[in-house]
Amino acid sequence: MPISFARRMNLLRRSEIREILKLTQKKEMISFAGGLPAPELFPVEKMKKIAVSILEEQGNEALQYSTTEGYEPLREKIAERMNRKFQTTVRKEHILITCGSQQALDFSGKLFLDEDDIVLCESPTYLAAISAFNAYAPKFIAVKTDDEGMILEELEKVLTSQKRIKLIYVIPDFQNPTGKTWSLKRRVAFMALVSKYEIPIIEDNPYGELRFEHKILPSLKSMDTKGLVIFTSTFSKTFCPGLRIGWIAAEPELFERYVRIKQGADLCTSIRNQMEIAKFIDVYDFESHIGKLVELYRSRRDVMIEMLQATLPEGVTFTHPEGGLFLWLELPKQMKAIQLLEDCLENNVAFIPGDSFFPNGGVTNTLRLNYSNMPEEKIREGIRRLSKAIKEYSAR
Amino acid sequence: MPISFARRMNLLRRSEIREILKLTQKKEMISFAGGLPAPELFPVEKMKKIAVSILEEQGNEALQYSTTEGYEPLREKIAERMNRKFQTTVRKEHILITCGSQQALDFSGKLFLDEDDIVLCESPTYLAAISAFNAYAPKFIAVKTDDEGMILEELEKVLTSQKRIKLIYVIPDFQNPTGKTWSLKRRVAFMALVSKYEIPIIEDNPYGELRFEHKILPSLKSMDTKGLVIFTSTFSKTFCPGLRIGWIAAEPELFERYVRIKQGADLCTSIRNQMEIAKFIDVYDFESHIGKLVELYRSRRDVMIEMLQATLPEGVTFTHPEGGLFLWLELPKQMKAIQLLEDCLENNVAFIPGDSFFPNGGVTNTLRLNYSNMPEEKIREGIRRLSKAIKEYSAR
């Protein structure tokens, strides 16, 4: 008799992105596949000073077990920054520190989902959220989404016809994978609609502070009158993913349950790493650090868009993200992104086919491009190779 | 309609230890309740040097995302150390880095357990393993356990009569909570028995290197001929819990599935923290660091045992651990540890009642004492207070 696994393991496949990323580790590869921040902007020198001063001033505390909720001064700073940037009114009591915001997604699945419960999400949606939730074996309904956000007529149809909806998962700011941002009008109407139902909403916002133009729009959490919105974000995009510090902001009834889940899952997050970020915010100008990221990513986005406009054949469209790390490209219907990827890998340029961002499949002609991790010259050359491959494919 | 949570949330209660620990934060409290290592032995000065050199030499890599499996040089060192200490024959390919070994327990629940599946464990067993597994809503069968380990006649009865056993969870070395260690003979017989069934075994071994006398016994993993034993341990007890670095050692078929689970759960563990431990092992004498811990904890155990022998009334028994962090005390049957705790807290001494280490309850006259975290003078005074409270309780 072979070892018997939990049923959920049938749903947990190896991440396709991860498999593609392995192929992209060749030196000569130009990769738009990952979602990595630009390492040249990691504040390495400053982190050296911070690391030493934390160990000097609070060494014993920094290396010991800590509370499940997280390091209070960091929770306080996160609340203050959220309120200033996303117009929320949260306090440190609402903030739970997690190991990156991926952990917040896993915990949300654990908190809400029994087998065959329904998760509503955008179409497409974030691939790794699908993996996180799949561990709890739900069904997904991907609600049609346009340039302003989820289409509310479609959403309402689902809300009124389905009984087991347990969770709505959305990424209103510079969505992964499309780079699109919900309009203010859509946000307001969305919250008005969903507030009639007592369904929790995960507002996943890892990229919101990386806005290249215009002002940050009010978050869904800022319009939440019923305590339904669970806001999650991370320092992985604005600071350093290697520290693995993200957070959940949730109302007390939810917060207290997330704490119980974290107790069972990993007891606590590295307090030393939390102390370092809190100290960095105290000692250095965090906003100017983010300013540098915004400047760099904006110029990389500009170069990518300029090159796409100059080189793509007709019939291929793409998004114009106002921030974040990704843009989204749509090929003519008859073309398969997975086929194109094979051609591209031969020519040393990589991307992620959009297929796996649709939880129920069915779309095969889209792809995600990351612009944060490659220098401008490589973006130029990479897009030249991509466009050439598209033209050759379409000529076949 | 209120928010609807997953069914598992009915099983996830707040940790009782955690609630008691909150009460013990008063300055005047002598606490044997936690399970904290002695912070005075954290190698703070050395960590300062390590932190700086990692950021100097590999800063960009240390602060970036990393592979889900973990930092290769650390995985290699872990495999080498395990083979040397626990007589295993693992390689780095078997080692998955986790956020503490608590995460290994959570992942094991996720990998094996559907609702109402059965977990076999010792009686008593580790409280936080119960919490971790409870997230997957299993039933527990606590198999009777004596001074040499699980009683095999009892285990066999369960193995032959129950269909849905998915997992056997044991802590053969200096068990939490009892401090007991399985005999070599029992280990061999246990492996011979369970190898007839294809049931995975979690060998949880966070304390094994903290042995005060005699030699480390061969691990269950070293006797595993069928790839059923999943060994888990951590640097939290031998180094610093604040870094949150633990690991799983498992055969390829299991390893590959744990990796998928980690991908969905939190992508990866802080690579900077992993690099620091690998570097510490390279640059400093890790065995002599462990030697210092052993010496300190041994003398604290000795003081605690000496005081218990000198002050306890008749009818109270306790274990003599050969290593680890805990010993276990049994009151006369009619006494309730929870009642005793109330008396003790008034007298500023704390412990954990044993009740919650029995997954199905029913035992109320036991308690766990930690000796690693209190200096000798406080151990003397604390045990005096404890014994006094026991005598007063028994006189009522």
ipTM over 0.95: yes
Please name the member of B6, B242, B270 whose beta carbon is closest to the beta carbon of A64.
B242
Sign for the pseudo-dihedral over CA of B25, B27, B28, B33: positive
Helix (H, G, I), strand (E, B) or coil at B77: helix
pLDDT tier for residue B230 given thresholds of 50, 70 and 90: very high
Contact B48, B240 (CB under 8 A): no
Q: Which residues of B touch A42 (CB under 8 A)?
A: 59-60, 63-64
Q: What is the mean pLDDT of each run of 10 residues along chain A (396 residues)?
A: 87 73 83 94 98 98 96 98 98 98 98 97 97 96 98 98 97 98 98 95 98 97 97 98 98 96 96 98 98 98 98 97 98 96 94 95 97 97 98 94
Does the distance separating the beta carbons of A64 and B39 come in below 8 Å? yes
Q: Which residue of A has its CA nearest to B373?
A: A64
pLDDT attached to residue A15: 67
Sort B154 into a burial class: Cβ within 10 Å, 0-12 / 13-18 / 19+. Answer: middle
- Mind telling me how many Å the CA of A189 is from chain B's nearest CA? 21
Q: Which residue of B has its CA nearest to A165?
A: B4
Starting at the edge strand found earlier in the chain, the sheet holding B352-353 runs B317-318, B326-330, B366-370, B352-353
Q: Which residues of A touch B14 (CB under 8 A)?
A: 256, 259-260, 263
Question: What is the tens place of the pLDDT at every residue in A149-171?
Answer: 999 999 999 999 999 999 999 99
- Mind telling me how many Å the CA of B347 is from chain A's nearest CA? 25
Q: Which residue of A has its CA nearest to B274?
A: A242
Q: Which residues of B touch A37 (CB under 8 A)?
A: 64
CA distance A153 to B80: 60
- Mind telling me how many Å the CA of A366 is from chain B's nearest CA? 23
CA distance B213 to B322: 6
Least confident of B12-26, B215-229, B330-344: B12-26
Helix (H, G, I), strand (E, B) or coil at A301: helix
pLDDT tier for residue B24 given thresholds of 50, 70 and 90: confident
Q: Long-range contacts: A155-158, Cβ < 8 Å, 24+?
A: A155/A120, A155/A190, A155/A193, A155/A194, A156/A193, A158/A120
CA distance B393 to B377: 24
Does the distance separating the beta carbons of A110 and B135 come in below 8 Å? yes
Residues in Cβ contact with B22 at an 8 Å cutoff, skipping those fewer than 6 apart = none
Q: Which residue of A has its CA nearest to B47?
A: A55
Contact B307, B49 (CB under 8 A): no
Supply A273's token pair: 């790493």
Which of B180, B226, B233, B234 lies closest to B203, judged by CA?
A: B233
Q: Is the pLDDT of residue B11 over 90?
A: no
Q: Which residue of B has its CA nearest to A164?
A: B4
User: What distances in angstroms separate CA B154 from CA A12, A330, B172, B191, one per listed residue?
Assistant: 36, 63, 17, 15
Does the distance separating the beta carbons of B59 and A42 come in below 8 Å? yes
pLDDT attached to residue B12: 85
Contact B90, B220 (CB under 8 A): no
Q: Which domains does chain B have, with CATH numbers?
A: 7-43+288-395 (3.90.1150.10), 58-283 (3.40.640.10)
Q: Is the pLDDT of residue B381 over 60?
A: yes
Supply B189's token pair: 């017989």
Phi first, then psi, for residue B349 (nearest 5°) are -140, 140
Phi first, then psi, for residue B195 (nearest 5°) are -65, -15
- Mind telling me how many Å the CA of A332 is from chain B's nearest CA? 32
Please name the member of A4, A61, A63 whose beta carbon is closest to the beta carbon of B166.
A4
Please name the member of A4, A114, A132 whose beta carbon is closest to the beta carbon of B264.
A132
Q: Which of A21, A55, A226 to substitute to test the interface with B, most B CBs within 10 Å?
A: A55
pLDDT attached to residue B25: 78
Does the distance separating the beta carbons of B5 and A257 come in below 8 Å? yes
Q: Which of A266, A274, A356, A372 to substitute to test the interface with B, most B CBs within 10 Å?
A: A266
Which of A65, A207, A241 lies closest to B269, judged by CA?
A: A241
Angle at A349 between CA A126 and CA A170, to 5 degrees: 10
pLDDT attached to residue B15: 67
Contact B235, B276 (CB under 8 A): no
Which of B263, B4, B130 lies closest to A113, judged by CA?
A: B4
Phi first, then psi, for residue A36 (nearest 5°) are -85, 140
Supply A303's token pair: 């170069």
pLDDT attached to residue B19: 72
- Mind telling me how many Å the CA of A265 is from chain B's nearest CA? 5
Question: What is the tens place of the pLDDT at every residue in B96-114?
Answer: 999 999 999 999 999 999 9
